[in-house]
Structure 1
């Protein structure tokens, strides 16, 4: 059975498509609109080949621009592969120049080369997708509110020599409105989580862990697809940029072991905030922080390790179907 590898370069308005056969020969190169009609035209063009042939659709993860394509392929029960753009770029070796048609060919070539290693992608369920969008909107509101707060400090300095009452009052009003909007968004996130029993069950479990609050739990639920996308916490720590990697080569290069910059910065920031809270309110982690500090470890290094412990605890309570138990308090109670 022949296999055709379909590489798709996605942009906001158009899709550039390149179809390769088993012998790396271009069968078709076309450009369609990123609309329902355009995607149907692309699928029909790919179906014109031998009816018994296998077709592998592959494209980069471009955020919201590729959502319509994903939905239409899933509705037709067609498997597809969505891959990080950086992974495709690094797999190509030295490159010179680029355009949409060339990118589509490179994606198809990537799909052919790594077809045995790729796993079909599936969109998250509607509740998780809704929570993800609400978290994104909340983050936007927080950024705007922070800008207003910083400008308020600036105008306060200006008020020492000039009348800026109107500006100060207006900024204060906007900050108050943004506070209300953030609260409303958080309520909607909670409503979405409560609407799905499986998601709410895991949410309740992980929020019992000291240092894991509402925001941390919501991000963990979304990014792990309700703890189904990662096989173990070690892989998630690598994704979040918490896992340290050595940098050595022979006897001449002995770099410092440190975390990678290829990471999800948002979840790392959220986990760091939770870890800073955990070393205050969790007896075990508080003692761990104190012990490492006495050993001369840097604050951020210790907090990074505490983040890893929090991730392990969250995965444990979900996988074991058991609530979190504070061992320090348990041992004190038993003694």
Structure 2
């Protein structure tokens, strides 16, 4: 036992006595310190931008209603309001969905009529609805159930999220039109 303890102490003493310097070590340390400072400054800037966005949203009459929809955080709410300017331009949820490029487009020639995936629409608005649907799948049981149902129907992940995004367009339009915050369907029944 004493031999083992002595060996461990000798190994520790030898390790502490070594001072190996690798070429470029000081330069690498300076670079790492500089990058760390920049990352901390960037984090502080993002925090300040988030505070500014929240302050602006606090003054907007529709912001609290929009943010009540699961998945619509401050950034997505601000983007939605910036892109649309409110829903006054869109008398129905279907028109808002068409503007976002989330509504199928009817193609017809002679007797042939079919719906196809839209290629037009405001990409920023589509991204807002897609991102909010993506987030809602993980935090809202109603959205998660709808997503799961679409996946069970054979849709890919992307198709299921797009279907959820399209559905949420109508929900958001109704929330703003009726001036009523979002309530989960189960919460409305329980109340």
| Higher strand content, 1 or 2 | 1
Q: Which residue of 2 aligns with 1:266?
A: 124
Name which structure has the greater RCO, CA cutoff 8 Å, separation 6+: 2
Does 2:74 align with 1:210? no
* Greater Rg over alpha carbons, structure: 2
Q: Contact 1:239 / 1:264 at 8 angstroms: preserved in 2?
A: yes
Superposition deviation, residue 320 in structure 1: 0.9
Does 2:153 align with 1:322? no
* Residue correspondence of structure 1 range 51-62 to structure 2 within 5 A: none
Q: Which residue of 1 aligns with 2:5?
A: none
Does 2:103 align with 1:243? yes
Cα deviation per residue 1:174-219 (whole Å; 9 max; x = unaligned)?
2221121122122122222334xxx2x3111111111211112111
Superposition deviation, residue 250 in structure 1: 6.0
**Structure 1 residues 254 and 316, CA gap change in structure 2 (3 angstroms):** closer
Superposition deviation, residue 297 in structure 1: 0.7
Q: Which of 141, 147, 153 is 1:295 aligned to?
A: 153
Q: Which runs of 5+ in 1 are unaligned?
A: 1-160
| Higher helix content, 1 or 2 | 2
Q: What is the root-mean-square deviation of aligned Cα atoms in Å?
A: 2.7
Superposition deviation, residue 316 in structure 1: 0.7
Q: Contact 1:245 / 1:258 at 8 angstroms: preserved in 2?
A: yes
Cα deviation per residue 1:253-289 (whole Å; 9 max; x = unaligned)?
99982121x3332332232221112122222221111
Q: Which residue of 2 aligns with 1:229?
A: 89
Q: Contact 2:80 / 2:128 at 8 angstroms: preserved in 1?
A: no
Does 2:43 align with 1:184? no
Superposition deviation, residue 172 in structure 1: 2.5
**Structure 1 residues 256 and 324, CA gap change in structure 2 (3 angstroms):** closer
Q: Contact 1:206 / 1:314 at 8 angstroms: preserved in 2?
A: yes
Q: Which runs of 5+ in 2 are unaligned?
A: 1-22
Q: Which residue of 1 aligns with 2:35?
A: 171
SS, match of residue 85 in structure 2: coil
Q: Contact 1:244 / 1:259 at 8 angstroms: preserved in 2?
A: yes
**Structure 1 residues 174 and 286, CA gap change in structure 2 (3 angstroms):** same
Instruction: State the TM-score, normalizing by the size of structure 1.
Output: 0.45
Q: Contact 2:133 / 2:165 at 8 angstroms: preserved in 1?
A: yes
SS, match of residue 226 in structure 1: coil
In 2, Cα distance between equivalents of 1:241 and 1:172: 41
**Structure 1 residues 167 and 235, CA gap change in structure 2 (3 angstroms):** farther
* Residue correspondence of structure 1 range 65-104 to structure 2 within 5 A: none
